[in-house]
Amino acid sequence: MAAKPVRDNDGKTTLEDLSALRSRCAQLETTLAEIEQRNRMLGDSAPFGIFTLDRTGQITGLNNKIRTIIGWPDGPIPPDASAFDLAVFVAAGVSDDLRQCLKTGRPAIKAHPCINRQDECLELRFHMSPVLNDTGTADGAIVFVEDFSVMKHAAEAVRESDHRYHVLFHSAPVAMIERDASQLKRYIEALREQGVDDLNAYLDENPDEIRHCMQLVQTADFNKAFMALVEADNRQELSFGAPEGDPDEFLKMAREVILMIAGGDIGRERERVITSLKGKRKTVLSKSLAVSGHEDTLSRLVITLVDITERKAAEEALRDSERRFREMALHDTLTGLYNRRFLYQSLPDLISSGRYDYSGISLIFMDLDNFKQLVDAHGHLHGSQVIKEVAATIHQSLAPPAYAVAYAGDEFVVVLPDCGLDQAEAKALDIQQHIRNAVYLQQQGLQVQLKASMGVAVYPGQARDAGELLAFADQALFAMKARGKDGVRTYR
């Protein structure tokens, strides 16, 4: 039946619009054909075979590579071509894997030996990815097929040299232990099929499962270097595998192993602490590697362990040394108080932080009265001892964040963050009273009592920066000493 002509408001046929519509359709068809051509080129140039199927198993597309791999003839795909019934797939068990992928909606990677139509036995790895709809069920699947026959033959060659492997294993200077984790891998897969998606949370809720899982890992072999590492005198001592050591450390290590197996992350280097059969704790670097041909099952895992105990001890000693050097650089060697270097670093930082712009930072500058007479009477060594004992008196009078500084000779500085002028004056009087009440040089058979003069200043009420704060407190100290010593004076 002929289509009715399109008419405009005046009743005339709009042939121009009809022609434009036809041109638009032609352009879209051309674009679609170009896209399809590009997709075919991409698929046919891929280094692996590709085929697609719908939910019934009907093959809906395949590239040239898969045709070559399985010996599929050229030409269109027959309407009854089902991946479930394809002889090469049925014989190899691929059909069952495809059904399972579509049923569960989960991707899978399976390796199968397949005999194609040319009677060639190929080692193929099938990467099956379901195509899910909005309800989460599979409408079909896309399958990438990798021919790893050459790799398989190489693996067989490796297995043929198994004797050489064992010779190397047992003569290696590095501690090595071989384990079979296939049962654990299967158990984890079973848990996932039962709906356990978060294995970490599952282990938190079922802590007994950690030990049960580790019982599924069997020790197959170990070398002499491993025996030396765990301090075993004979192989019978390790008949049940490696020693567990500290229970908490064992459970922590066991959890890491379980999650490592579950996540397929077996190659990462890890640092852990082990306990030898003789109770000696050692720090080791461990790394696992699946023996070639056992990557899927993890039935042969070789774990190497390098003893880094001495290196860790040396590193810790170096850190302690660096820490001591830093402390020495900022502390006075005689008194143990902070030194001027620390004062000149910390005081500007406190002021620039702005935390004490409202509450204030006060500073006490002090020195001992008539200290020269004490040195003249008792000698320089006793004078140094007095300085040390007075420093202890000052330190005991303070509480953080306040701190004392051995400034020079018999001069001391006390920094009082979050402290106003009145509070600082009271603290100066308190320190002064502690010094008056103390008796020094008693262990030297002497009884010496001292007095001190002090000057106090505050930021920001008086000083504008760290330099002025020190200078103003120093000026107050000199003013106090000019008036007769043994007192406290604030800056004016």
Cα distance from N-terminal residue to C-terminal residue, the chain: 113
241 lies in the same domain as 354: no
Domain-embedded: residue 28: no
335 lies in the same domain as 296: no
Domain boundary among 153, 186, 201: 153
pLDDT at 305 over 60: yes
Grade residue 76 by pLDDT with cuts at 50, 70 and 90.
confident
For the CA atoms of 31, 36, 42, 48, the dihedral, rounded to the nearest 10 degrees, stands at: 170
d(CA 6, CA 11): 9
352 lies in the same domain as 296: no
190 lies in the same domain as 277: yes
Mean pLDDT of the chain: 86
Q: What is the pLDDT of residues 83-130, one digit of tens each?
A: 999 888 898 899 999 999 999 999 999 998 888 777 888 889 999 999
| Cα angle value 17/18/20 (rounded, 5°) | 65
| CATH code of residue 352 | 3.30.70.270
d(CA 242, CA 234): 13
377 lies in the same domain as 403: yes
Q: What percent of the chain has pLDDT over 70?
A: 90
Of 73, 103, 102, the closest CA to residue 86 belongs to 73
| CATH code of residue 231 | 3.30.450.20
Return the pLDDT at 1: 44
Domain housing 142 = 38-153
Domain-embedded: residue 27: no
338 lies in the same domain as 456: yes
d(CA 307, CA 286): 9
Sign of the torsion formed by the C-alpha atoms of 309, 310, 315 and 319: positive
Q: In this structure, are residues 386 and 475 in contact, taking their beta carbons and an 8 Å threshold?
A: no
Q: In this structure, are residues 363 and 428 in contact, taking their beta carbons and an 8 Å threshold?
A: no
216 lies in the same domain as 287: yes
Domain-embedded: residue 205: yes
Furthest C-alpha separation in the chain: 133
d(CA 215, CA 184): 9
Q: How many domains does the chain have?
A: 3
**Residues for the chain: how many in total?**
492
Which distant-in-sequence residues (6+ apart) come within 8 Å of 44 by Cβ?
Answer: 63, 64, 65
Domain boundary among 129, 153, 177: 153
Q: What is the mean pLDDT of residues 270-290?
A: 87
Residue 217 has what DSSP assignment?
A: P
Q: Which residue has the higher pLDDT, 368 or 161?
A: 368
168 lies in the same domain as 230: yes
Return the pLDDT at 3: 47
475 lies in the same domain as 418: yes
